[in-house]
Chains A and B, each alone.
Chain A
Amino acid sequence: MIRQGRSRGRWIVSIWIPCLVLSAAAGHGEDFDWLSIEDGIGAPHALESASIEAVAGRLDEWVDSGFGFVEVAWRTHVRIKAASEVEVRQSVVRLFVNDAGAQQAGTIEITIETDRSSLRVERAYLLLPDGRRQAVDPDSVQVTDSQDPDLFSTLKTVSLPMGGVVPGSVAFVEYTLIRRIEGDPLPWSSLFNMQTLVPILSNEIVVENEREPGWFDWATNDPGLECGTVSAGRLVCRRSEMAAVRLDPAVRSYLDVIPHFVVGQRVTWRELSARVAGLVEAKLDVSDEMEKAIARIREEFEEPEARARELYRVVSNQVRYLGFEHGDAAVVPRPASLTWKRRFGDCKDKVTLFVAMARALDLEVTPVLTSVSFFEPGTFVLPAASYFDHMIVCSDALPRDGGCVDVTLSSSPPGLPFVLQGGVALELTRRGADSIRPLPRRAALWEFGVTRDIRLECDGGIREKVDYRQGGPWGETLRSMLVQLSPDEREQYLANEYAQAMGVSEQRPEMELGGLARVGRPWTVHYASTRAQRAEMKGAQHFYDVNRWLLAVARSLVSENRHHDYAFPGIRLEAVSRYRLCEEAEIEYEGAALDLASRWGSLTRRYETRNDEVIVRSMLSMDSRVVSPSENEDLRLYLSRSLDQSAIQFGYRVD
Chain B
Amino acid sequence: MGCSTSPAGWAIAALVTIGLGCASSRIPQTIDETPAGRIDPLPAGTDRVVSSDGSFSIGIVGRAGKGPGSALGHEKAEFGLVLPDEDIGLVAYRYSGAQTSIDDVVHHRRTLVRSAGLLHFVSEERFFLSTGRYRAASLCAWEGDGRRASRYAYSLIADTPGGAVEILAWTRDARGRDALRAAVLRFRLEVE
The verdict on A346 contacting chain B, using a C-beta distance below 8 Å, is no
In the assembled complex, the CB of A627 is this many whole angstroms from the nearest CB of chain B, namely 16
A592 to B155, CA, bound (A): 13
Chain B residues, Cβ within 8 Å of A592: 106, 124-126, 138
Q: How far is the CB of A531 from chain B (nearest CB, A)?
A: 20
Given contacts A592-B126, A594-B126, A596-B126, contact A638 B134 (CB under 8 A): yes
A642 to B133, CA, bound (A): 11
Known: A542-B107, A647-B103, A649-B103. A641 touches B135 (CB 8 A): yes
Q: How far is the CA of A69 from the CA of B159 in the complex (A)?
A: 50
- What distance in Å separates the Cβ of B72 from its nearest Cβ neighbour in chain A? 15
Instruction: Please report the C-alpha to C-alpha distance between residue A649 and residue B111 in the assembled complex, in whole angstroms.
Output: 14
Say whether, besides A596-B126, A596-B128, A641 and B136 are in contact (CB < 8 Å): yes
B-facing mask of A577-595, CB < 8 A → 1, else 0? 0000000000011111111
The reply to whether the CB of B24 lies closer than 8 angstroms to some CB of chain A is no
Q: Which residues of B contact A540 (CB under 8 A)?
A: 114
Q: How far is the CB of B189 from chain A (nearest CB, A)?
A: 15
Q: Which residues of B contact A642 (CB under 8 A)?
A: 134, 136
Whether B136 lies near A645 (C-beta < 8 A) is yes
Q: A589-B121, A637-B133 are in contact. Are A595 and B127 (CB under 8 A)?
A: yes
A645 near B126 with CB under 8 A, answer yes
Q: How far apart are B7's CB and chain A's nearest CB, in angstroms?
A: 23
* Count of interface residues, chain A, beta-carbon cutoff 8 Å: 24
- Looking at the complex, which one of B101, B106, B133 makes contact with A644 (CB distance below 8 Å)? B101
Number of residues from B at the complex interface, CB < 8 A: 20
Q: Are B134 and A598 in contact, CB atoms less than 8 angstroms apart?
A: yes
| A605 to B, closest residue via Cβ | B126
Query: Which chain B residues lie closer than 8 Å to A649 at the CB level?
Result: 103, 107
Check if B123 sits within 8 Å of A593, measured CB to CB: yes
Q: Which residues of A contact B128 (CB under 8 A)?
A: 596-598, 641
- How far is it, in angstroms, between the C-alpha of A647 and the C-alpha of B135 when the chains are bound? 16
Q: Shortest beta-carbon distance, A220 to chain B, in Å? A: 39
A31 at the interface (CB under 8 A from B): no
Residues 71-117 (chain B) with a chain A CB within 8 angstroms: 101-103, 106-107, 110, 114
Cβ 8 A contact of A595, one of B107, B121, B125, B135: B125
How near does chain B come to A310, taking the closest CB pair, in angstroms? 47
Name the residue in A594, A634, A645 with the highest tally of chain B Cβ atoms < 10 Å from its Cβ.
A645
User: Contact at A591–B124, with CB atoms within 8 Å?
Assistant: yes
A383-406 contacts to B (CB < 8 Å)? none
Q: How far is the CA of A644 from the CA of B164 in the complex (A)?
A: 14
What's the least CB distance linking A616 to chain B, in Å?
13
In the complex, A596→B128 CA distance in Å? 6
- Please give the distance in Å from A652's CB to the nearest CB on chain B: 13
Contacts of B114 in A (CB 8 A): 540
Asked if B124 and A593 make an inter-chain contact with CB atoms under 8 angstroms apart, the answer reads: yes
- Mark contacts of B137-150 with chain A using CB atoms, 8 A cut-off: 1 yes-contact digit, 0 otherwise: 01000000000000
What 1/0 flags go to A78-109 for Cβ under 8 Å of B?
A: 00000000000000000000000000000000
Q: Can you list 19 pairs linking A and B with CB atoms under 8 Å apart?
A: A540-B114, A542-B107, A589-B121, A590-B123, A592-B106, A593-B124, A593-B125, A595-B126, A595-B127, A596-B126, A596-B128, A596-B136, A597-B127, A598-B128, A637-B133, A641-B135, A641-B136, A644-B136, A647-B103
- Which 7 pairs show the lowest CB-CB distances between chains A and B? A592-B124, A641-B134, A592-B126, A593-B125, A589-B121, A595-B127, A645-B136
| Known contacts A593-B125, A634-B133; 7 further A-B pairs (Cβ under 8 A) | A544-B103, A592-B106, A592-B124, A595-B125, A596-B134, A645-B136, A647-B103
